């Protein structure tokens, strides 16, 4: 796919330029949303409201997956309260992992193992350190349809491809789930439907529109995700096991950065959320006027939990 290759190349070039500008000192520039910045990527949201006498800049990379967005805005708020400047960089998966390995990104919350992000982990693990499984539940990826759709298995898709517009609505081209669908699921089932890559928000918008009209749609989705609470959805059965077994989510940090920031590393290792807590955080952020307002509301309801993450003894 030319478009995927070209986009990925541009992203990596942009990232490389940002890495040169940022270095690995943890003192990179702190730009506001919409401004130009020589950071790990061009799409950067800088910190606001950080305390005077900052302890340094923490650079968190994320993709637009709901649990990742929830985590990074939660920790942006918490770290700023504790005197750090926080630089959030929204990127596609491939450039993000490269930045993480080179030091342009300090850590990333949304590492899905043992299957989804296996390729990236194998490539970059020598420069990373595992900060633990923060999500206290099992993860799943797969092809999902509304419950009103009559088919129940991936093996039935070809026979009903026209009903779905001959397409699977996907997410980011560089996402681990996208690679699994392209390299394992489509070949395993000989699917004739085309995987149309877009972004997580675009996929959710398409799902919302189709659901409102009671039309068939098949999308790339995952659990945990608030969409399963909002709409009546179901995973298509995967009798050939192409998606692999359920897994977990962990945080990976740049090894050099982690060695230089033991206190923050300890906090991140203490960070745990169960399915209900994560779901409430996602909903509060999604429903609020601003992400920080949603985070603030959630923290007020989970003070004991949050305080437990900052016990360093």
Give the pLDDT confidence of 43-80 residue by residue, as tens digits: 333 333 334 457 999 999 999 889 999 999 999 999 99
Question: CA–CA separation, 101 vs 107, rounded Å?
Answer: 9
- CATH of the domain spanning 17-135+248-302, picked from 3.90.1150.10, 3.20.20.70, 3.40.190.10, 2.40.30.10: 3.40.190.10
> Percentage of the chain with pLDDT > 70?
82
Q: The pTM is what?
A: 0.71
Domain boundaries, the chain: 17-135+248-302, 140-235
* Residue with tokens 């070209």, as numbered in its chain: 6
Q: What is the pLDDT of residues 246-260, one digit of tens each?
A: 999 999 999 999 999
Answer left, alpha or beta for residue 196, where phi above 0 means left and psi between -120 and 50 means alpha.
Answer: beta
More confident of the two residues 275 and 86: 86
Give the number of other Cβ atoms within 10 Å of residue 32's Cβ: 11
How sure is the predictor about 108, in pLDDT bands with cuts at 50, 70 and 90?
Answer: very high
pLDDT the model gives residue 313: 63
Q: CB of 53 within 8 A of CB of 44?
A: no
- Mean pLDDT computed over 306-311: 96
Fold for the domain defined by 140-235: D-Maltodextrin-Binding Protein; domain 2 (3.40.190)
- pLDDT higher than threshold 60 for residue 21: no
Answer left, alpha or beta for residue 56, where phi above 0 means left and psi between -120 and 50 means alpha.
Answer: left
How sure is the predictor about 156, in pLDDT bands with cuts at 50, 70 and 90?
Answer: very high
Question: CA–CA separation, 133 vs 269, rounded Å?
Answer: 8
How sure is the predictor about 267, in pLDDT bands with cuts at 50, 70 and 90?
Answer: very high
Query: In whole numbers, what is the pLDDT of the chain averaged over residues?
Result: 86
Domains 17-135+248-302 and 140-235 share a fold: yes
- pLDDT higher than threshold 60 for residue 121: yes
């Amino acid at each position: 796919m030319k478009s995927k290759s070209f986009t990925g190349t541009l992203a990596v070039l942009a990232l490389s330029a940002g890495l040169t500008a940022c270095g690995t000192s943890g003192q990179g520039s702190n730009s506001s949303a919409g401004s130009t910045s020589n950071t790990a990527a061009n799409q950067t949201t800088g910190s606001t409201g950080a305390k005077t006498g900052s302890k340094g800049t923490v650079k968190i990379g994320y993709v637009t997956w709901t649990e990742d967005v929830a985590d990074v805005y939660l920790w942006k708020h918490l770290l700023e309260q504790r005197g750090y400047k926080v630089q959030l960089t929204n990127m596609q998966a491939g450039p993000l992992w490269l930045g993480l390995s080179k030091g342009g990104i300090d850590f990333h919350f949304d590492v899905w193992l043992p299957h989804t992000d296996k390729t990236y982990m194998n490539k970059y693990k020598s420069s990373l350190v595992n900060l633990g499984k923060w999500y206290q539940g099992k993860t799943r990826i797969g092809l999902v349809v509304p419950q009103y759709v009559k088919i129940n298995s991936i093996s039935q898709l070809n026979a009903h491809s026209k009903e779905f517009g001959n397409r699977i609505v996907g997410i980011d081209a560089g996402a681990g789930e996208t690679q699994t669908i392209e390299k394992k699921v489509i070949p395993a089932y000989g699917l004739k439907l085309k995987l149309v890559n877009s972004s997580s928000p675009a996929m959710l918008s398409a799902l919302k529109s189709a659901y409102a009209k009671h039309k068939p749609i098949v999308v790339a989705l995952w659990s945990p995700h608030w969409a399963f609470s909002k709409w009546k959805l179901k995973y298509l059965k995967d009798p050939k096991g192409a998606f692999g077994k359920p897994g977990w989510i962990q945080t990976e940090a740049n090894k050099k950065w982690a060695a230089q920031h033991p206190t923050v590393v300890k906090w991140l290792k203490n960070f745990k959320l169960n399915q209900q807590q994560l779901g409430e955080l996602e909903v509060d952020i999604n429903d609020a006027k601003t992400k920080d307002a949603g985070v603030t509301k959630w923290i007020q309801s989970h003070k004991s939990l949050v305080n437990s993450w900052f016990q360093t003894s």
